[in-house]
Structure 1
Amino acid sequence: MDKYVTIEEYRELRKNEFTDKYPHTLGEYEGVQLNFSVCEMMDELRSFEVRADDCWIVTYPKAGTTWVQEIVLCAKHDGNLQEVNKTHTKFQVPFLEQSMPQEIRRLKNLPPTHRIAAEIPSPRVIKSHLPGQLLPPQIWTKKAKIVYVIRNPKDLMVSYFYFENLLNLKGAGLPFEEYLEYRNSNKASYGSWWDHYLYFWKRRHQPNVLLLRFEDLKRDLRGNVETISRFLGKALSAKTLDDITEHCSFDNMKSNPMINPDYLLSTDERPGRSFMRKGKSGSWKTHFTVAQNEAMDALIKEKLHGTGLTFDH
């Protein structure tokens, strides 16, 4: 990415109201609601050339993507944190289906992100929020490594609610009750969380899939750092694992400008609002009414019955 636009150039361009605009109109591709610009690229994305030594971080939005991609980057670089911090995580992990705002692409002659990803030397780390059935099929035929993260859907709803308001996305401005109805429907971007989760839950035993839970990362970050490292074929020392764990604590990530998306999104101009808000489990308890909680419990029971997928709270 650096060869097309530097971090500082990108920051300045994002401060401009005109160049900062992302189109938020949704379209539909194979029954899934996606940003219209993504729908237009889907045929090309489906034919993306996957490599066997790729690591793909796939999540439903707000399930822990930024957290896990930083752990993966640290493991990829054998715990060399100086190397990891050389540039922003966004510039190291291409977001398959999301390109830069159109005006920035025009000004800097930037190709779509998936074409930039094709130029990155191996081994690559790539992230996507696409549901499994819409990912490039070569992920499965070439057995690329996939790290998938599941988060309690109640906490996911709260995190997504604040995120959409932060960036003025499709669900911005809705009261929380209406937002729940929107996000728990097939009218929301990336489809339903349960379909997204279950696609990978059913494939969790495949050797190239590592399924993680956000809540487990909170409970035992060090243990999960080691699990991720081993999954990537890295036998790291205890000290290196400790260093990565410290580097990837929520407070350290939030204060690190080479990790926190706020540094690139100019959220410093939006006091009290942040991409990395709290990073906690159980915050739904201060947002859901009793009726909303009961309705969500009923939905979870209906959609996940018989699958074996459950949540602690």
Structure 2
Amino acid sequence: MEELLANLPESCKTLLEETKGSFVQGMQNAPGYKKPGWKGYRYSMHFSSEATQKIYEECDFPENSVILASFPKTGTNWISEIIYEMLFGFDEKFDILRKEIPPPFFVLEGWSADKMDLWKHIPLPHYYFMSHLPAPLINFDKIKKSNSKIVVPIRNPKDQLISWFNYCQSPNFAPLREHLSSDWSQFFSDFMDGKQPIPVTKPGEGYAEFLSGWNEYKDDPRVHFVHFENLKTNTTEEINRIAKFLGMDLTEEQLTLLKDKTSFESMKKIQDKGSDEMAQFRKSMNLVRKGKVGSWKDTFTVSQSERMDEMMAAKLAGTNIKFVY
């Protein structure tokens, strides 16, 4: 934290401490279920309608920024760690610095909108942001202007839902049992009917709408789609594809190191140790769990599987999105 603070003016140091304090306190409290906010979207949990609107309308992205735009539980933390290590992990100075930064500062819609005032004071060679925002809430004109790039994960919707169900069984979600049932059958029905407070969605919408929105940019050179299942099966090749998309040429040695450092086993150990800001954040929310392909088969009934297939086929009709099960 000392190196980070050394680069900040006094006013920003106060903002940093206040935001970090509210972040820590927020992680200790149950996530809220907010009513629809800006543009009719639900900003549940620790996400801010005000921050989203300010970024869209007022803030410019730093040149050559990288944004991970993901629906919850589609590989966000795994792919995020790959990009983190890719951008900063090969330089010890920047690797230490990025680990000092409290997570909310680089979650676009997270917490207070005031956090954006700190961006220009953090001396990183690249700026990397995480987000669960759907395509209509990211100002693509600003993406073009700043030569920024967006990575969008795709995971089969059945494994996504199983991961979301297990994640929501945390005691942190106990006050939201009315919306996030601990009974699988009820949870499944509520999800399919668009009743759950999933960030950031409109009432009645969910994963299919998120994918459909980003699919409109499928031919744009600034957007790259990563299939979770392909990343599991052909890890080195998919990591290299992400690197090429970001304009990086990695050696075989670097690719191997990246693969090892970002394996689920390695990330789980780091998370459980909680040795830096990001690890503590992931530990508090149990964000790194199993990351397996095909877990849905242990829980879905035949009728549930068929209903999911029918819904996704109907909502994604006209797109080229295919899932790997």
Q: Under TM normalisation by the shorter chain, which class is it?
A: 0.7 to 0.9
Alignment of 1:184 with 2:186, yes or no, is no
Letter in structure 1 aligned against 2:54: E
Residues 260-281 of structure 1: CA deviation (Å, up to 9, x unaligned): 96633664xxxxx932111111
The CA distance in 2 between the partners of 1:287 and 1:218, in whole Å, is 21
The equivalent of 2:107 in structure 1 is 95
User: Is the CA contact 2:51–2:110 (under 8 Å) kept in the aligned structure 1?
Assistant: no
CA–CA separation in structure 2 for the residues paired with 1:278 and 1:203:
30
Question: What is the aligned-residue RMSD (CA, Å)?
Answer: 3.2
Deviations, residues 141-169 of structure 1 (Å, cap 9, x unaligned): 43411111111111111111122222317
Q: What is the deviation of 1:197?
A: 0.9
Give % identity: 24
Contact 2:77 2:287 in 1 (8 A): no
TM-score by length of 1: 0.81
Higher helix share: 2
Alpha-carbon offset, residue 136 of structure 1: 3.2
**1:165 & 1:72 partners in 2: Cα distance?**
28
Q: Distance in 1 between matches of 2:190 and 2:119?
A: 32
Please list, as runs of the form range in 1=range in 2, the aligned pairs for 1:1-313 lying within 5 A after superposition.
Answer: 3=5, 14=24, 20-21=28-29, 23-28=31-36, 29-35=38-44, 38-47=48-57, 48-77=59-88, 79-80=90-91, 84=95, 88=99, 91=102, 94-99=106-111, 112-121=114-123, 122-137=125-140, 138-166=142-170, 167-168=172-173, 170=176, 171-187=179-195, 188-189=197-198, 190-191=200-201, 192-256=206-270, 257=274, 263-264=280-281, 267=284, 274-313=286-325
Q: Structure 2 CA distance, aligned partners of 1:65 and 1:158?
A: 15
CA distance in 2, matches of 1:69, 1:89: 16
Distance 1:233 1:151 in 2: 24
Q: Secondary structure at the match of 1:307?
A: coil
The answer as to whether partners of 1:62 and 1:159 remain within 8 angstroms in 2 is yes
Q: Which segment is superposed worse, 295-304 or 43-52?
A: 43-52
CA distance in 1, matches of 2:318, 2:27: 48
More off after superposition, 130-139 vs 280-289: 130-139
Cα distance in 2 for partners of 1:176, 1:234 equals 43
Contact 1:97 1:128 in 2 (8 A): yes
Q: TM (normalized to structure 2)?
A: 0.78
User: Structure 1 pair 250/78, CA: closer, same or farther in 2 (3 Å)?
Assistant: closer
**2:265 alignment partner, SS class:** helix
Q: Distance in 1 between matches of 2:181 and 2:51?
A: 28
| Native 8 Å contact 2:48 2:109 kept in 1 | yes
Q: Matches of 2:294 and 2:276 in 1, distance apart?
A: 24
Does the 8 A contact of 2:109 with 2:131 survive in 1? Answer: yes
What SS does the corresponding residue of 2:28 show, helix, strand or coil? coil
Unaligned runs of 5+ in 2: 6-12
Query: Which amino acid in structure 2 is aligned with residue 46 of structure 1?
Result: Y
The count of aligned residue pairs is 295
Change (3 A) 1:19 1:183: closer
Alignment gaps of 5+ in structure 1: 101-110, 268-272
